[in-house]
Structure 1
Amino acid sequence: MSRSTLADWVGQCSALVRPLVETIRQYVMSAKKIHTDDTPVPVLEPGNGKTKTGRIWTYVRDDRPSGSNEAPAAWFAYSPNRSGEHPQAHLLGFKGTLQADAFAGYDAIYESGAVREAGCMAHARRKFHDLFVARKNDVNTEALRRISELYAIEAEIRGKPPDERWRVRQERTRPLMNDFELWLRSTLSMVSQKGDTAKAINYSLNQWQALTLFIDDGAVEIDNNAAERALRAVALGRKNFLHFGSDSGGERGAAIYTLVATAKLNGLDPEAYLRHVLSCIADHPVNQISELLPWAVADQLPSYAA
């Protein structure tokens, strides 16, 4: 099914699906840990035929890597720009751990202490990987080797309960991270402070407390890849359509992504799920809207083939 078809469906039924999207939002925000990220989207500006850059934000609840049986879900939101006020508004009232990149717009969210900052090792790795691709040398090669050791441990304990992950990380990951920090600081003193290598090193060191939070909390991940995976559909969509027609179109698009991504996270064929929801939601009692959540109808619909 094309994106334009989905947009037509949800556009025509936006008032009907709004309670379902809101229920998913509430479910995501009730989690103890959320992954978040954002990506640019082109949006038509009214009157002049030109486009501006809006943003699609995703907030993902998915604790399956730490052995949870709770259903995963993703809520998407649109904003006309990347001001920090938007994630701050989205996360108002949330208490727990926020797994994110180093975007300064999140900083105000951590100030009260109600939300803990968990960093993303994938972002730190990407800084060195980009240098490795451009010009391989001993420093970026060694950085990637050390990070790969951390990921090898994570692969072994994926799906294990938090207490087991905590124990393994204390025994095996903490010594590696301690050595990695010492190596980063030593290497930083030997490279040009204005060069790209120093920038890559400083990114990790400036984020060190957030990057190491996962060691002491078995429910936290080493990276923010859950949110990045959720945004792939948006990136793919940019290749298949020119732009959103307006800010309200961006909001409807966010509703589409919420329903599609949550269906896929729960192993459902998203087209079949949307057809099911839109065929019965008009007559469904609003106070029983949770009966239409993807995990509530999973046994009635075909599975998703990636």
Structure 2
Amino acid sequence: MARKGPKINVSIEALQKRIAELEAALDIERREHCATRKLAQLQFEGLSMIQQLLIKALELLEKHCPALVVKGEAVIDLLLREASMDANELKALPGIEKLLRRQFRQIQGKIEPQIEQTKSDLAEAELELERRKAEAVKEMLKKKRTIAENNKKSAETKNTVGEVAAAEAEKHPDNAMLKAAAGIANAAVPETTKAEEIPPGKQADPNRRTAPTQGGISHARGCTCPYCGSTEGFFEQEGPTVFLRTLHKHIEDMLEGTYVKNPVLQCRACGKNHMHIPEEVPVPADLNRTVSQELLFDCARMLTLGMPMNRINALFNTAAMTMSGDTIPRNMHDWITSGLGQPLLKAILKKARKAAEICADETPFSCLQQAGMSKTKLDDEDAAKQAYLLTITSPASAKYQFAVFNRLKSRSAEAIAGVLGSYEAGTWITDAYAGYDSIIGASAVKIERQSCLAHFTRTVYDALELENMHDAVTNPTNRERLAEALGSGTPAYYLLMVTAAISKIYKWEATLKAQEDENPADWMKRVTDCRKAHAEPLMDRIDEIMVKLAERYAVKKGKTWEAALMSPYAKPVVYYMNNKENFRVFLENAYVTPDSSAAERSLRPLCVLRTSCNFKQSPEYMQSMCDWYTLFVTARLNGIERPTQWLNEYGRAIFEHCVNEELNRRSDKGLELSRRFAFDPKDIESFNADAWEPSAYMERKRRS
């Protein structure tokens, strides 16, 4: 358990102010001492000059006007005595200087420890502040950023506020905000019947019926008794039978080296050549590689589940096979970027770019070369130090499901537009990042944008203190105060009712999933009618509340809204007013979802990987990582439960296609067929990968 530091009851601002005051006092002392010393020196020099002038004048008078000297002797004597006295006093100035120096050192000795102590306190306070910030962020993420938890925590508070708002609205029919809050409270929610779920662990495991049995054969001969060491003989009887789930091999022993001989067969009927590859024989990445496609796919699977490549190498103990740490990553990179994986990736991209609606979201992911932390410098002046990943996915309601990942050199509108520009979608579902507005504004075609209601909900919850509100609202003695607060337009309670409205919208959205064998036209009509009857009125009530709050907390400057007050309530109000129309696009399009959660969900595996390795070395390897995620996440979205099996089938098919094409060309030219060769890029491009695109693959599986 970490030791807690001493509690510091002083703010950083106060410490900084105290340091500035002490340093200013020290500076004043230095300046005053220097000025006093300079003035004394000038006075001493001036008086010495006057004394010399008087002596010279006396000599002249005595020589030329002796009578005047006699008459003025008393005056001159007085002047000389005063000058001598002042000069004698000035001679004592070095002593005064020593006194001033001694006093200055005493003052400095008292001030400097205070300055050092204050600086130390400031450093401790800054560390304490960072610690508290980290704890606050962790607590905020745990308590505030989870919409489901906040909905659950605030359910009782919402019900109470809704009841009081409905009652007060009847008393004050002219109060628009009360009327809107009452409309939210009285809005219907769907009746849901929770399906009976079989508790985990109670289902019958079909594997138990087909599992083989190991052991059961007597191995008594040659055994040694563990108690007495005897080997003379044993009586044997049946013991317990245990069902186990185990591995064929230890993970460290799964990687092995082997030579693969694949005979080339020539058809007697047509004379064509083809390579015969039995199903149990591994398929190489290409004929000049020392790794199999199966190994690459399993490693890619681990990568997309959040395991970095260095741990994958350690897991398979690649060093025991005299493989460098770069062997698997390099082959994975080549296979997906320029090898046999390219047609499959292009087939997914071709279909994704024709989607009518897309969700987009971005997240930071470090690239060492781009950040200037690698020996190899990146030759791209436009690249920012912080790289990003952009995911483009289909909405959850779309017929074709996909997730495409891309590396971004920055989060600029230009970088995002460079990727989104190749998509035909007329509707984007995004967060409130202003870069998307810039892209849409500069687009030659009309693009509608649905702003994410989930992001808005989090922003509203961030402005509320749910625990304090719960304690205040649920106390029966505070009902009158709550009614007064609602009547006076207290923003916290109305923002809470906004979250209640959004929660009800999502409850209706949960009923709109397409049913099995439901006609698409019937589904669209059902979605449109439901949103018209329930979501649209709730969005209207939200708008009435937020527009009313904007009169106090927001001000419009040009085309955008800004905060009018330094208040936590200003942020959600400004957020809403700047995206007011974009929040309602889903009401008119059945395929548009109210939020971009589909894109956020697709980014989660990447976020898991980011916590493990946090960076990629180069932009090229960063993009190939994105391409592997595109394959695996799109496969999952289309219901492929065993993506490595799908890739193995595809990899075998395209390998045979490319090999057979080259074998027949070499045969026609009379070249030796037993020699290894590189694949022709034209053969890779000519392979029909559309049949292996995840949705087409699953459709073929369902029909077979």
In the alignment, is residue 90 of structure 1 matched against residue 419 of structure 2? yes
- TM normalised by structure 2 equals 0.40
Map of 2:532 onto structure 1: 170
Picking from 25, 29, 36, the partner of 2:353 is 29
Report the more deviating stretch, 79-88 or 243-252. 79-88
What SS does the corresponding residue of 2:464 show, helix, strand or coil?
helix
Structure 2 gaps of 5+ residues are 1-300, 304-308, 313-327, 376-383, 470-491, 516-522, 554-563, 658-683
Deviations 1:43-95 (A, max 9, x none): 11276449942111111124x52xx5x33111111112111112212222524
The residue type equivalent to 2:388 in the other structure is R
CA 1:141–1:154: 2 relative to 1, 3 Å: same
In 1, the alpha carbon distance for the partners of 2:612 and 2:646 equals 22
Match of residue 12 from structure 1: 334
Looking at structure 1, the residues matched to 694 and 331 of structure 2 have their Cα atoms a distance apart, in angstroms, of 18
> Residue 187 in 1 paired to residue 586 in 2?
no
Residue type at the aligned position of 1:35: C
CA distance in 1, matches of 2:425, 2:637: 23
Which is further off, 13-22 or 28-37? 13-22
Q: Does 1:41 align with 2:41?
A: no
Query: Who is 1:259 aligned against?
Result: 631
1:32, 1:95 within 8 Å by CA — same for their partners in 2?
yes
Q: Determine whether 1:271 maps to 2:633.
A: no
Contact residue 390 and residue 407 of structure 2 kept, 8 A:
yes
> 2:404·2:630 contact (CA, 8 Å) conserved in 1?
yes
Check whether the contact 1:42–1:53 (CA below 8 A) recurs between aligned residues. Answer: yes
Shift of 1:139: 4.0
Q: Which residue of 1 is the match for residue 454 of structure 2?
A: 122
Q: Is the 8 A contact 1:21 1:75 kept in 2?
A: no
Q: Match for 2:496 among 138, 141, 148?
A: 141
Counterpart for residue 289 of structure 2: none
Percentage of pairs with the same residue: 24
With over 3 angstroms needed to count, the CA separation of the structure-2 counterparts of 1:7 and 1:215, relative to structure 1, is farther
Shift of 1:121: 0.6
Give the greater-gyration-radius structure (CA).
2
How big is the shift at 1:7? 4.6
User: What is the CA–CA distance in structure 1 between the aligned matches of 2:331 and 2:464, rounded to whole Å?
Assistant: 45
C-alpha contact (below 8 Å) 1:40/1:53 kept by paired residues: yes
Kindly indicate whether structure 1 or structure 2 has the higher relative contact order, using CA contacts under 8 Å at least 6 residues apart.
1
Residues in 2 aligned to 1:277 and 1:195: alpha-carbon distance in whole angstroms: 58
1:273 to 1:239, Cα distance in 2 relative to 1, 3 A: farther
Instruction: Give 2:507's match in structure 1, choosing from 152, 164, 168.
Output: 152
CA distance in structure 2 between the aligned counterparts of 1:9 and 1:276, rounded to whole angstroms: 19
The residue aligned with 1:291 is 691
- Is the contact made by 1:28 and 1:73 (CA closer than 8 Å) also made in structure 2? yes
Tell me the equivalent position of 2:435.
Answer: 105
8 Å contact kept, 2:427–2:449: yes
| Separation in structure 2 between the aligned mates of residue 56 and residue 176 of structure 1, nearest angstrom | 35
The amino acid that maps onto 1:71 is Y
CA distance in 2, matches of 1:81, 1:101: 17
Secondary structure of the corresponding residue to residue 295 of structure 1:
helix
Distance 1:270 1:39, change over 3 A: farther
- Which residue identity is paired with 1:99? I
Q: Is the 8 A contact 1:95 1:114 kept in 2?
A: no
CA contact (8 A) 2:428 2:449 kept: yes
Give the direction of change, closer, same or farther, for the CA distance of 1:190–1:105 in structure 2 (3 Å limit): closer
Aligned match of 2:393: 60
Corresponding letter in the other structure for 2:431: D
* 1:282 paired residue number: 655
Q: Counterpart in 2 of 1:304?
A: none
Render the CA deviation track for 1:258-299: whole Å, top value 9, x for unaligned: 111101101223333344444443344534011221223337
TM-score using structure 1 length: 0.87
